[in-house]
Amino acid sequence: NYNQERNYEFFDDLDRFNGDFTFIDSSNPRHRISVAGSYDFPFGKGRPLLNNLHPVLNAIIGGWQTSHLLMANSGPFLRFGQMITDGSAPEVYRKRTQWFDPSKFQRPLPHSLRENPWQYPGVTGPRYWNLDSTLSKTFPIQERFNLEFRFEAYNLTNAFVPTNPVMSVTASNFGVTTSQQNRGREMQYSLRLVF
């Protein structure tokens, strides 16, 4: 599943009586993709390979299935508040210690009108991606009873995805990402009796 989106907002945040409203892009990520799939390993009873295994061996290596979910997006556009700037886009480093060049911006004078753009083309927050995976097997016990084993891993690759950088020109850490938006790898297993 792939999604490309574009959204405009139409307003003037400082002078409500000014008829010269501005269209700005939404801060949502421009591209999103989700891929899901499952795979039955071809070993064991009823499968193409090793389908005549001894019941004990079949219980160990036969009938396994894996499934995966991959989600990714291109990162949201960063919204800049009212600042003094020369109007050109800041240089983007994409490092946790400095996401973009903050030296291009200065604190505005009180009660001054906005002159800088809300956002700059290509200046986006961190790209997001995550892979979740499951390994499962069903053990038939009797005609009406099955035992289902599942091993699940969330953020399987233990990828670090930082949050958007601090966007306040008055903050000492302006342009720095200070935390993580996703969680670290989590694993769990379950054994369920189905009847």
In this model, does residue 18 exceed pLDDT 60? Answer: no
Q: What is the pLDDT of residues 171-182, one digit of tens each?
A: 999 999 999 989
With beta carbons less than 8 A apart as the criterion, state whether 132 and 157 touch: no
Q: What tokens appear for 187 in the block? A: 């694993």
pLDDT value of position 26 = 62
pLDDT value of position 16 = 52
In this model, does residue 64 exceed pLDDT 60? Answer: yes
Q: Which domain holds residue 125?
A: 2-194
- State the total domains in the chain: 1
Residue 130 has phi, psi (to 5 degrees) of -150, 140
3-state helix, strand, coil in the chain (%, to 5): 5, 40, 55
In this model, does residue 119 exceed pLDDT 90? Answer: no
In 3D, which of 9, 12, 4 has the Cα closest to residue 30?
A: 4
Neighbours of 30 (CB within 10 A): 17
Which pairs from 139-147 meet CB under 8 Å and 24+ separation? 139/59, 139/63, 144/195, 145/193, 145/194, 145/195, 146/193, 146/194, 146/195, 147/191, 147/192, 147/193, 147/194
pLDDT value of position 13 = 53
Arithmetic mean of pLDDT, 150-156: 96
pLDDT value of position 132 = 97
Arithmetic mean of pLDDT, 70-88: 86
pLDDT band of 164, cuts 50, 70, 90: very high
In 3D, which of 160, 169, 176 has the Cα closest to residue 93?
A: 176
Angle (CA) 59 63 68, round 5°: 130
Residue 56 has phi, psi (to 5 degrees) of -70, -45
Sign of torsion over alpha carbons 172, 176, 180, 182: positive
Kindly report the average pLDDT of the chain as a whole number.
84
pLDDT band of 7, cuts 50, 70, 90: low
pTM of the model: 0.74
pLDDT value of position 79 = 86
In this model, does residue 95 exceed pLDDT 60? Answer: yes
Write down the number of H helices and E strands in the chain. 1, 10
Arithmetic mean of pLDDT, 33-45: 91
pLDDT band of 109, cuts 50, 70, 90: confident
pLDDT value of position 70 = 96
Judged by average pLDDT, the poorest of 85-99, 127-141, 155-169, 171-185 is 85-99
